[in-house]
Amino acid sequence: MIKTLEKGLNKVKRYLKTNILMTTFVITSLINGFLVRFFTVQNYFAIKPILADLVVLLIITAFGYFIKPKHQYKYFLFWSIILTALCIINTVYYGNYISFASFSLLKTASELGGYTDAVFENILEIKDFIFLWQIFALTFVHLQLKRKNYYKKVKDENGKIRFLNTCVVSLITLGFFISMLSSVDLSRLNKQWNRPSIVMEFGIYFYQVNDAFTSVKTKVNEMFGYDEAYKTFREYYENEKESHTSNPYTDLFKGKNVIVIHGESIQGFTMNLKFNGEELTPNLNKMAREGIYFTNYYAQESVGNSSDSEFTSLTSLLPSSSGTVFMNYFDRDYETILKLLKEKEYYTFSMHGNNGSAWNRNMAYQYLGYDDFYYYTKDYEIDEKIGLGLSDKSFFRQSVEKIKEINDEHKNFYGTLVMLTNHTPFSDTDSFEYSVDIKTKDEETEEEVITPWLEGTKVGNYLKSVNYADSAIGYLFELLEEERKE
């Protein structure tokens, strides 16, 4: 028994001694995987994600045995860069969306350029660069081994045998890992609906591999399963009986012009909120009192955020659970409110104070049914910039001038005004006048005392930005009322 153990230990020692670079790669990758969980889901030493990540790393390592020892550094360096990039991307993504990145989001990478300020100011932190240590550690070990003529001393082992042995160890590890999983864990992995939970149980590398397969499967299904899906979709709606075709609001605004205000990042809790007796959103509160206000309303957007809300509002369809509709499925024939109104001779348009390419709007809008899209430098004078683009008040002022011309040229119109100023990072607080300090009276002197509360915080900056957005909406109504009187 003792001899068998000694023999086994000697084999392990010899294996590690002749595979120092591989061991360094696996250990450093596992540490980075741990750091991702430490900075995000915070299940530091859970055994399941460690085993899952180890399975992926062993498979990567196995293919390295087909490369001669002196060339293995390039192979492991390549994978170190890939895995380090995945760790950084997912940590940054989690900091913004409390979720993890997906390969289905690759088409949205171009959007990062328009949101650079938000990334560097609110999202990207020094800790996100810690993952780079793996690349330096691997390079350092490689240089030390090279200096000691390690690669010349190590004999070229039989790559096929070591490949098979490593795969066997990987499968054994996978077996242990699977035995620890519940049916709920497997369901989440399959449906990808709770990514933080997947990373908690499966680790960042296993999650990313599964996500890659899921993204490819979606594209394959798209290519080969389209006809069947289309048939099922059509049959469902053809068999549905129409009901409730009218209600108390039917034809109430028939023949009227329509202006839709797309409010950026305005949360429901800001309604009727006051600081020192002053309403945060007086104009929205007034609209709620005098108009129709829906309180039992829940956001249905996916990773497309604002673009998803536009899509759902125009089509009454849910957005894609994988990727974004405006990027992946923009060139489809959708039934939209825009197309229905165009049958009634309505002119349809959208206006935005940001770049037309943001979230692929300039392409998607054509298929949704907009006749024209007015945006940023193409149609607006950038006379006041706040945050990501043209300030909302300048945007509304210039938009009303355009709407006036549209009204003169067309019988009826449907227009969407997409606001922008109240968009993360909420950093240009000098442009906003609202105060989130608390004012109280000193009991002894009865003098007014200002107590800093949310001033200078992210929440405070957001609330001040919301107040500006509300003020801009009030300003829009004033401009429209002036034009109506004329």
Residue 454 pLDDT more than 60? yes
pLDDT in tens, 250-295: 888 899 999 999 999 999 999 999 988 899 999 999 999 999 898 8
| Residue type for position 428 | D
The pLDDT of residue 327 is above 70: yes
Of the pLDDT bands very low, low, confident and very high (cuts 50, 70, 90), residue 81 is very high
- Contact 480/453 with Cβ under 8 angstroms? no
Flag whether pLDDT at 130 surpasses 90.
yes
> Residue 124 belongs to what H/E stretch?
none
Kindly report the CA angle at 17 between 12 and 23, in degrees rounded to 5?
85
Residue whose C-alpha is closest to residue 431's, from 398, 402, 381, 393: 393
What confidence category does residue 222 fall into, taking pLDDT thresholds of 50, 70 and 90? low
Lowest mean pLDDT among 130-134, 294-298, 315-319: 294-298
**Cα 170 from chain centroid?**
33
Closest by alpha carbon to 86, among 138, 21, 132? 132
For the cut 70, the answer to whether the pLDDT of residue 476 exceeds it is: yes
215 token code pair: 């993204």
Is residue 242 very low, low, confident or very high in pLDDT (cuts 50, 70, 90)? low
Whether the predicted pLDDT of 119 surpasses 60: no
77 pLDDT exceeds 60? yes
